[in-house]
Amino acid sequence: MGKKQKYDDSSMVSIKDDRDRVRKRPTIYIPTLDVEGALHIIYEIIDNAIDEVDADKKDTKRSDSITVIYDEKTKQVTVTDNGRGIPQSTMFSTCTVLNSSGKMDNTADTAYEYSGGRL
């Protein structure tokens, strides 16, 4: 074994890029890297679809349909809804920056009064 490095301020690492954070420590964001972790992500996606159904009832673009398909042969899960989707202008940051969401600080005056999931 090599000599242990002294633990001081030079030992501290700050990962600036969100994708690097997930790559280096994925279990901070999902519970495991096996089936349990995959199921956690699937539950979050389904919960997001349910949030779209629960969105403002006066919004004619809100979802009224969710389809979940499991392909036993490929082990793939597909979740579809007919909701509003992610606004095109925010698509890149929503999909690449951690904690990007339209579900922060929910109140009766925001797009989502309530959100059951974390994404």
Residue with tokens 């994925």: 26
72 or 95, greater pLDDT: 72
Q: What is this structure's pTM? A: 0.64
Distances (CA, A) of 32 to 16, 47, 84: 23, 19, 31
Highest mean pLDDT among 65-69, 86-90, 105-109 belongs to 65-69
Kindly provide the residue ranges of all beta strands, DSSP E only, lying in 31-73, ordered along the sequence: 66-71
Residue range 58-62: mean pLDDT, rounded: 68
Of 111 and 36, the structure prediction assigns the larger pLDDT to 36
Predicted pLDDT at 39:
92
- Residue boundaries of the structural domains of the chain: 16-96
Rounded to an integer, the average pLDDT of 44-55 is 82
In whole angstroms, give the CA distance from residue 13 to residue 100: 23
Model pLDDT, residue 60: 65
Please report the pLDDT score of residue 91 as a whole number.
82
pLDDT band at 56 (very low <50, low <70, confident <90, very high): low
SS3 50: helix
